[in-house]
């Protein structure tokens, strides 16, 4: 089964940016692109308004067609399909995500929960999706890395306290497709009792070995990917947001089995609002 790269559109600059990001990803992976728009109260035949004479396309169709045309003008060989779904955005996008390689959504970020996906799609899409979801800003500034000839790295946050192979594998696959270096980070915020570390003792040795163990089989699978592993004594969300300032993509995990039910963890919740680059949230056990 060929899974498309899917983008959810709502007409906002953020969602259009996500569609173009998804188009680039589909092109690089040799996959089709699917653009979807969901609206619960959209009947099949809306009456024309004074600004929309009879016989003309309604706004959602015009918006979808224009976005598809803009993408096709840049990537004429890309297979593009568009679909309007009469349903609430959350369940509609969750359904299409099941059949997609990944789902790209627009994100305002840098704000409150209400600012997510231009205010129209709740965190439920990211918190419940069965496939990876990538959140894209309206403007993704590449920074200075690629301008100087150095490709931007893919950054992945590793949670060594729980199985995170699916998260690491997604990051490796993405880095391999983009021929980008990968930085795997395990950030450990030690409790106050560990505030003093005697000279000559490094409590990070065990964590480094654990991180290397997780990375090793995937590095063998992708030997061409340059990998940097890093263990730091910092709050995970704070360190990842700062480290992502010049990243191509930040990858974090979302546990599907949580004691409080299906929801985002604190690290994923923080980075999707504050990381300056696209953020991939990958579900894992």
Q: Report pLDDT for 117.
A: 43
Q: Tens digits of per-residue pLDDT, 113-160?
A: 333 343 345 577 898 999 999 999 876 544 434 544 568 999 999 988
Judging by DSSP bridges, how do beta strands 133-136 and 279-284 pair with one another? antiparallel
Mean of the pLDDT values across residues 186-201? 59
- Tell me what the mean pLDDT of segment 179-201 comes to: 70
Residue 50 reports pLDDT greater than 70 = no
Q: Where does the pLDDT of residue 11 fall: very low under 50, low under 70, confident under 90, or very high at 90 and above?
A: confident
Query: In the chain, pLDDT over 70 holds for what percent of residues?
Result: 77
DSSP result, the chain: -PPPEEEE--SSHHHHHHHHHHHHHHHHHT--EEEEEE-TT--SSPPPPTTS-TTSPPHHHHHHHHHHHHHHHH-TT--EEEEEE-S-HHHHHHHHHHTSSEEEEE---SS-GGGGGGGTS-THHHHH-SS-EEEE-S-----STGGGTPPPPEEEE--TTS--HHHHHHHHHHHHHHT--EEEEEE----GGGS---TT--TTHHHHHHHHHHHHHHHHHSTTS-EEEEEESS-HHHHHHHHGGG-SEEEEEEESS-TT-S---HHHHHHHHH-SS-EEEEEE-
| Mean predicted confidence (pLDDT) in 230-255 | 93
Q: What is the mean pLDDT of the chain?
A: 83
Encoded tokens for 48: 């024309």
Which residue ranges form the domains of the chain, and what is each CATH number? Answer: 5-136 (3.40.50.620), 146-284 (3.40.50.620)
pTM: 0.85
Where is pLDDT greater, at 93 or 198? 93
pLDDT in tens, 203-230: 568 888 989 999 999 999 999 999 999 9
* pLDDT the model gives residue 148: 45
Instruction: Round to whole Å and give the CA distance between 27 and 128.
Output: 27
What pLDDT is stored for residue 120 in this prediction? 40
């Amino acid at each position: 089964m060929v899974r498309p790269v899917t983008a959810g559109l709502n007409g906002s600059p953020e969602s259009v940016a996500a569609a173009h990001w998804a188009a680039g990803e589909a092109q690089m992976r040799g996959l089709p692109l699917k653009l979807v728009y969901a609206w619960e109260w959209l009947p099949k035949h809306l009456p024309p308004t004074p600004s929309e004479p009879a016989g003309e396309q309604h706004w959602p169709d015009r918006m979808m067609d224009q976005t598809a045309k803009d993408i096709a003008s840049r990537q004429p060989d890309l297979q593009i399909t568009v679909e309007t779904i009469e349903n609430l955005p959350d369940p509609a996008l969750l359904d299409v995500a099941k059949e997609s390689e990944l789902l790209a959504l627009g994100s305002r970020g840098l704000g409150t929960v209400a600012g997510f996906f231009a205010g129209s799609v709740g965190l439920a899409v990211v918190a419940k999706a069965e496939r990876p979801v990538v959140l894209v800003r309206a403007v993704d500034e590449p920074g200075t890395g690629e301008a100087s000839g150095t490709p931007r790295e893919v950054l992945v946050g590793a949670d060594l306290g729980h199985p995170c192979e699916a998260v690491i594998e997604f990051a490796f696959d993405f880095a391999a497709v983009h021929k980008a270096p990968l930085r795997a980070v395990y950030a450990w915020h030690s409790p106050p009792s560990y505030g003093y570390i005697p000279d000559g003792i490094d409590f990070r040795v065990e964590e480094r070995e654990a991180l290397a163990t997780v990375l090793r089989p995937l590095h063998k699978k992708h030997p061409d990917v340059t990998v940097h592993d890093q263990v730091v004594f910092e709050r995970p969300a704070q360190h990842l947001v700062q480290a992502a300032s010049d990243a191509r993509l930040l990858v974090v995990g979302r546990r599907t089995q949580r004691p409080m039910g299906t929801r985002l963890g604190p690290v994923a919740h923080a980075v999707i609002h504050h990381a300056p680059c696209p953020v991939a949230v990958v579900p894992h056990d």
